[in-house]
Amino acid sequence: MSFSPDATALSPESLLDAYSGKVRVRVGGLLLRDGGILLAAHRGLLPKETPFWSPPGGGWQFGESIRTALVREFREETGLTVRVGRFLHLHEFSTGKLQALELFFEVLNDANEQPRLGHDPEHAPNQQLLTELAWLTPRQLLHVPHEQVHPVLRMVLSPDDIFVPQTRFV
């Protein structure tokens, strides 16, 4: 399920230029299956191609509802058709260059449908930020270095912790 950029690709850091210096509203989906959370690895946020694991999601576009945006983003990144459930988390994301208000929802889908690594239509095929999809359990997440895990998933000890609504501001 991994993507390998070719030699003509831009540096991962420059791929984030389109999002830098702007406040964005992002939607993300938390899909749980067999105790694992579906996560997407992104490049460009950390040095040396180190992956940053985050729930699938992305930018809310003018003219669409938040729920429609989440269904679209999930399909683009994972190939899955999802139904949007409960609102779970509000999170202020800031890394210096990037700033976003993130809304996380529970998402549901047919367990027989398998995810496949998708794409971000804002980027050319050789300039994708997404590199991998994986189902990670809370126990596995505890063994991933802190900076590589989206803050909304840090210190999650059980699948139940994911579905406790919370708000986090930096």
Q: What is the pLDDT of residues 130-157, one digit of tens each?
A: 999 999 999 999 999 999 999 889 878 8
Write down the pTM of the prediction: 0.81
What's the rounded Cα separation, in Å, for the pair 3 and 127?
Answer: 10
At 92-110, the pLDDT tens digits run 877 777 688 999 999 999 9
Instruction: Tell me the β-bridge partners of 4.
Output: none
Whether the Cβ atoms of residue 159 and residue 32 lie closer than 8 Å to each other: yes
Which CATH topology does 25-108+127-168 take?
A: Nucleoside Triphosphate Pyrophosphohydrolase (3.90.79)
Pairing type for strands 52-54 and 130-136 reads unpaired
Domain range annotation of the chain: 25-108+127-168
Lowest-confidence pick of 3-12, 61-70, 80-89, 143-152: 3-12
Q: What's the sign of the alpha-carbon dihedral 136, 97, 122, 64?
A: positive
User: What stretches of the chain adopt beta strand conformation (E)?
Assistant: 23-30, 32-33, 36-42, 52-54, 57-59, 83-94, 99-108, 130-136, 166-168
Q: Which pLDDT does position 30 carry in this prediction?
A: 96
